[in-house]
Amino acid sequence: MVISFTPGAGAINTMSNALSQGWRRSIWGIIGQQLALIVHVVIVAAGVGLIVARSEILFTVIRYAGAAYLVYLGVRLILTRPNLRTSPEDEVDAREGHWSMIRRGFWVNLLNPKAIVFFLAFIPQFVRLDEPQLPQYVTLIITVIVVDVLVMWGFFAAAARPFRRLTRSARGQRTLNSVFGALFIGVAALLVFLH
């Protein structure tokens, strides 16, 4: 739970989705993030995580790709024009598609090399080599997903709900887009400059 509560790109993505698409619809981005977590665990279980952790070049490439993607999301959000919804039809038209939200959530989490290194350090402590490994990894994946969904949807997406009223004005939308865009860029800078 402590790991899930640590703010990062996934939390920012979840809050941004909750503000722009609503609390219920933010689940689609969270699903994408969970798919990426599954990939991270599979990478570690297959031993690829160790290769990434030991290869300075590969780790750096993934780190810069992740940072570039976060900067792209941040700039795109900052440049997004306010979209005032005056009728229920406008509300429906302004909705982002499920697959788009899943895809963005997936890439936000997948391109985080620190997640691979974290899982590489974290998971082996809970895997017994003298026992069948598949059930252990399945249990770990289910546990990580359940906890992360509860934290992302129950805390980060819910924390954004009171600010949703700001999305009713052009000025409020610009402010929120700028704040969350800057947060994405800030996380990208941390990814690049903190080792």
pLDDT at 30: 96
Instruction: Give mean pLDDT, residues 39-64.
Output: 80
pLDDT at 31: 97
Is it the case that residue 193 has pLDDT exceeding 80? Answer: yes
pLDDT band at 71 (very low <50, low <70, confident <90, very high): very high
Instruction: Give mean pLDDT, residues 168-173.
Output: 85
Which one is predicted more confidently, 73 or 27? 27
pLDDT at 65: 86
Burial 79-112 (b: 16+ CB within 10 A, else e): ebeeeeeeeeeeeeeeeeeeeebbebbbbbbbbb
pLDDT band at 148 (very low <50, low <70, confident <90, very high): very high
Is it the case that residue 151 has pLDDT exceeding 90? Answer: yes
Distance between CA 181 and CA 177 in Å, rounded? Answer: 6
Q: How many domains does the chain have?
A: 1
Distance between CA 13 and CA 69 in Å, rounded? Answer: 12
CA angle 124, 130, 134 (to 5 degrees): 65
Contact 71, 80 (CB under 8 A): no
Instruction: Give mean pLDDT, residues 83-100.
Output: 67
Domain of 105 in residue numbering reads as 2-193
Is it the case that residue 88 has pLDDT exceeding 60? Answer: no
Is it the case that residue 92 has pLDDT exceeding 60? Answer: no
Q: Considering the chain, what is the average pLDDT of its residues?
A: 84
Distance between CA 52 and CA 85 in Å, rounded? Answer: 46
Is it the case that residue 89 has pLDDT exceeding 80? Answer: no
Which one is predicted more confidently, 28 or 195? 28
Is it the case that residue 171 has pLDDT exceeding 60? Answer: yes
pLDDT at 49: 65
SS3 for 149-162, per residue? HHHHHHHHHHHHHH
pLDDT at 143: 92
